[in-house]
Amino acid sequence: MPELPEVEVVRAGLAPAVTGATILGVEVFDPRALTRHAGSPADFEARLAGRAVRGTARRGKFLWLMLADDPAAGAEALMVHLGMSGQMLLRAPGAPAERHERVRFAIAHPEHGELAVVFADQRTFGSLAIDPLIPTLDGAAGGFGDDAPLVPAQAAHIARDPLDPAFDDAGFRRALARRSSAVKRVLLDQSVISGVGNIYADEALWAARLHPETRAADLSTRAANRLLAEVRAVLRKALAEGGTSFDAQYVNVNGEVGYFAHSLNAYGRAGQPCPRCGRAIVRVAFTNRSSHFCPRCQRVR
């Protein structure tokens, strides 16, 4: 599933093409792409036609396009959840249908002219929805990419991500101290810290020399600070390399893959030598996922 770096790469790619553009029309080819939308496909198409896009924003793994206010509905956004295989692609007007294309938007930009924005999704776990924007609880910007203290209602329960200027470091340390569950489980809890999934949790824990099953409450303040610093470092490095692509399901808006898979130290490297000590990386079951770690560098404390 795309994590913060992959979703941010998509947001950044969409921003110059859609900010200031007008949605000329929408075609929904598969209603499964609208599972989070409260209305019908016809309602989705009608409410977006003619709307202007004010910009793009992201919180954790959630991406949205801010829409010009509707006098009847107020402030709204087009929510985009990529799920496991969702893609937002920029194409020329009239371009052939993409494989697994679910929804197509025709837009007109005052500088770039007309474009097609395609939502493609092989596994159909992603979704689009028109969602009301509501005030943030802390009064800070709702997400990266926009200064307005507004967030879509469907993303309001999602914690801020560690690259968000308004992320509460002390609050994160308190959340760790209150939990007796494994530290990796806390990293994956989107109500505590958003944007981190299985890949970057394993990478940050490897960098911080912490076993994924270490009890969160057992971490010292120093260890918690080190972990948070490594989470940020691995996310920033992944962003710089365009995200992680293991197959063609994750691509940017131009259909290009990311290269962070070549920089992974633990995730997906079972049986290969640890880059730090040479011991073989192991893979163990973790809920419905897997954990990858070095049994020498990352011992349970």
Query: In whole angstroms, how large is the CA radius of gyration of the chain?
Result: 20
289 a catalytic residue:
yes
Look at residues 183, 185, 53 and name the one whose alpha carbon lies nearest to residue 115.
53
160 is in an annotated binding site: no
Identified catalytic residue from 11, 51, 61, 269: 61
Alpha-carbon gap, residue 33 to 13, rounded angstroms:
21
3-state helix, strand, coil in the chain (%, to 5): 25, 25, 45
Walk across the sheet containing 101-109 and list its strands: 22-28, 101-109, 113-121, 86-91
User: Three-state DSSP class for 125?
Assistant: coil
Which residue is catalytic, options 236, 289, 296, 301?
A: 289
* Integer Cα distance of 55 and 21 in angstroms: 9
* Residue 123 is labelled as binding a ligand: yes
The rounded distance, in Å, linking the Cα atoms of 291 and 267 is 7
- Contact status, residue 235 vs residue 4, Cβ threshold 8 Å: yes
Using DSSP, state whether 44 is helix, strand or coil: helix
- Please, is 108 exposed, middle or buried when counting C-beta atoms within 10 Å of its C-beta (0-12, 13-18, 19+)? middle
Does 91 count as an annotated binding residue?
Answer: no
95: amino acid identity, one letter: A
**Which one is catalytic: 3, 8, 45, 76?**
3
Q: Could you give the CA distance from residue 107 to residue 11 in angstroms, rounded to a whole number?
A: 16
2 an active-site residue?
yes
* Phi, psi (rounded to 5 degrees) for 140: -90, 170
Q: Is 237 an active-site residue?
A: no
Please report how many Cα atoms fall inside a 13 Å half-sphere around the Cα of residue 178, on the Cβ side: 7
Binding residues for DNA: 100, 123, 179
Binding residues: 100, 123, 179
Q: Give catalytic residue positions.
A: 2-3, 61, 289
